Amino acid sequence: MRRRETHSFDRLQKMTREERFIARFIAATLPWLSLRLYPSLLGLFALCFFVTACASLPFSAKKSDASTSAQLSPFSWASEAVEADGRGIAPANVTDETQRTLAARQAAKTAAIAGLKTRISRLTITGSQTVETAMSINLSVKRAIEKYLQNAEVVYEKEIEPGVWEVRMRAALAPVSEILNQHRITPEQGIPFMPLHDGHVPRET
C-alpha cells in the first residue's frame, strides 16, 4: 500500500504545472457538472420515452380501427388476409448490377400485387357477384382497390440470384370491405349499376 502511495506521489511530482492545473480543474468542476447534467439526462430520458410512446399510438390506433371495421363488416371474409408470391427477372438490356437488382425486385412486387388482385377479385359479395364484378361495373371501386394494393405489406423477399428476385406480399381484407361499403355494396344490396364517368360513351353495336 505504501509503495502505491509513493508511486502516485511520484507521478504527481512529475506532472507539469499545466497538467496539475487541468487535474485540479476537473476535480473541482466534476461535482458541479454532475448536479447540472443529472436533471438534464433525466429530462432527456423522459422526452425519449414520451416520443416513443406517441409514435406507437397511430399504429396501435390504426390496427384497432382495422380490427373494429372487420368485426362490423357484413362480409364474412373481412377479418382475413390474402398472400401472393411474385418472381421478377431483370431485363437483359440492364447491365448495371444495382439497376438489375432494383428492376428485378420491382418486377417481383408487380407480379405479387397482380396475384393479390386476382385473389381479391374472387371474393364473394352475393351468391352470383364477386369483387371482380364490382370492379368491372364501378371504376371507382377498381381504382380504390388497386391503389390500396400498391401499399400491400412485403412479408418476404429474397434475391435468388443476380437479377432474379422473389417477393411475398400480404393484404388485409378489411380495407377492401370498407371500400365496398363506401360504394354501398353489401351482401344484402348487391352491386348497384354505376355508369362510367371518364367521358367514355359506350359504342352502339
pTM here? 0.61
Final residue belonging to a domain, choices 49, 65, 86: 49
- Write down the pLDDT at residue 31: 58
Residue 45 domain boundaries: 2-49
The residues of the chain scoring below 70 in pLDDT are 1-71, 193-205
Domain final residue, candidates 49, 64, 81? 49
| pLDDT at residue 17, as a whole number | 61
DSSP assignment string, 52-96: HHHHHHHHHHHHHHHHHHHHH-SSTTTT-EEEEEEEEE--TT---
The per-residue pLDDT for range 172-197, each reduced to its tens digit, is 999 999 999 999 999 988 888 655 44
Q: What was the pLDDT predicted at 53? A: 47
> What would the pLDDT profile of 109-126 be if each residue is shown by its tens digit?
999 999 999 999 999 999
Residues 84 and 145 in one domain: yes
